[in-house]
Amino acid sequence: MKTLVFLVRHGETLWNREQRCQGFTDVDLSEKGKEQAEKLARYLAKISRLEAVYSSDLIRARKTAEAIARLQGVEVQTDARLRELNQGEIEGKNLNSLLMDYPEILQKWMTEPAEVKMPGGESLRQLQARAWQAFQEIVEKNRGAELAIVAHNLCNTAILCKILELDLNHFRRIKQSSGALNIIEITNTGPVIIRLNDTHFLEEL
């Protein structure tokens, strides 16, 4: 029995463009992000008939998921475990602010990111534990189906690292662009990533 998961990163937000840490902050899609969501939705409608669409409960992911679900005739099911990394006190800050106010955390984030617990937030390992639990439960509930899961940069990366058995300290080897699509095929022998960070359908933007 084959299950096909379309793992999506939400469309662009203004904070993405400004390179600000978002985390749990509920930042809406930019106009470009809304266009990305619509283009992604149209592309998925061409290549798949989805039986379910799941999403983080944050608005940037939820609106991306709603665009997908609308063309598939299904409802979006939200799961807070699919949220982005909780970045606590540093949410809303850009690189210059981090260099000024949190130099030690930033240094460790560059060298040993898996071990960094954000002040007032969580670590990559904590994120991976909740996201992977959600991913496994969603897949088990939809065995044999084609479904979409819409989440966030680090959330998706943590799931992909788990599948690849890649240590989170090396998470930067995986890229997740705004509006990107990953395709994961799951059989009795386990998950296989058959497409990674695909954005070809957004090129005209």
In the predicted structure, residue 163 carries a pLDDT above the cut 90: yes
- List, by residue number, the catalytic residues: 10, 84
**In the chain, which ranges are E strands?**
3-9, 52-55, 76-78, 146-151, 181-187, 190-198
Whether the full predicted model's pTM is greater than 0.85, yes or no, is yes
Nearest to 122 by CA among 158, 176, 165: 158
List pLDDT tens digits, range 59-110: 999 999 999 999 999 999 999 999 999 999 999 999 888 888 899 998 999 9
